[in-house]
Structure 1
Amino acid sequence: MNNSRSKMQSKKRKQNIFLNASIAVVFLLIAGVSAFIFLGDNENQAAETEEKTIAEQVQENAGIQDESNGNENNDNENNELTASEIESDESESDEDTESENAAASEDKEEEEEAAKKKEDKKKKDEEKKESDSNEEMAGPEDGEWKPVGTKQTGEHVSSYEKGSVDWNEKLKAAAYATGLDMNSMTVWWVGNDGGPQNSVVEVSSPSGGAPEYRVHMEWVDKKGWKPVKVDEL
């Protein structure tokens, strides 16, 4: 009976050892699995963290690059705008200069044209004045002229002194009868014509190389010298 009891105790002891060993194994397995899971999670987290850090770094680098590219593009755009503005300003300046030159040229042409018109008008007026004077001085046929007027008073004495009042009035009568300009005609001779109150004057145009006209005249008291005959020489 003791043997049987001893066997049973031995059997229980073995069962206890087996159970304890099994429990230990189970604990070890559980501990190993837990450790594996824990370590795996840490590694995954570390990997994820590392991946996240790398991704963030890549994004930051990409952002910096994009910002750099953006700044470069902005600089390029600004440079292009500045160049465009410079070209625009230069173009506007050239246009303004051309407009100013054109305006100055037009003003100069207008001034020249105005000066030319003024000169032409002055010339025409002078020609008309000379023509009117010639027509006035030409007079009618022989014996139909009028006295040219006089500044002399009192008893008349014919004078042949060059530059005297009577001399100048003789030339005025000669110009009146011939139609020449008194100030430009050439006077060849002034002399007596058969009496103290009769004179003769020989004149020509400025370009004449010899006397062209001989004008006979007589004195009319208080009215001056009157042409009576013109000989064309």
Structure 2
Amino acid sequence: MSNDFNSNSRSGYRAKRKKTNIVLNGLIIVVLLLIIFVAYNIFASGDDKAAPKKESPKTAQKDTEHKEVKDKKKDENAKKDEETKKDDSSSDDTAAEDQPSEETTTPEKPDDSQAVVSDGGTSSNVLKTIENPSWKPVGTSQTGNHTPVYSGTDWDEMLNAISYATGLDPSNMTVFWLGSDKSTTNASIGTVHSKDKTQKYKVYIKWVDGQGWMPTKVEELAELQR
């Protein structure tokens, strides 16, 4: 009786152990299958991302045509810009040719060594009088018969002659008075001073046909008077 009980116990234990092993083995197989499935999905999705997208022949052809059109337009725009620059350059050259050069409108600096300086002058307000045979006409852009006009181009050319005779820079010269010299045909008289009024002059100028205004006499003044 005791032997039969022990035999049944051992038999039940082995059956239970066998059943447990089957369950464990099944679970292991399931886990392995899950691992394989997950790994496959990871590698498969990685390959899809890494694989370059292939363009269809039609798409590639369209891209090529688009690039060719874009390059053509770029070349055309570059040619237009170059032609525009050439036209601008030609216009600048033409304008430069039309404008009188500085040499033709302003004579060389007078030779002060030839200046004749004397004390006094036409009035008691004159400190000294200066006459210089090296003075020349300052040039002109005017043509035809000339009559003094105290505005515009004629005015500017008169001031150019006065600046030339006195040595005052136009930016430092203020006109006190400028008008006709009634004692001489086609002549003018101007009274000017430096901006700080330390230099005051009365300048006599005359018109030379085709050559412009030329200084004839400069008087250094004690006070500003007409």
* Alignment TM class, shorter chain as reference: 0.3 to 0.5
More helix by share: 1
More strand by share: 2
Relative contact order, higher structure (CA 8 A, sep 6+): 2
TM-score by length of 1: 0.38
Between structure 1 and structure 2, the one with the greater Rg is 1
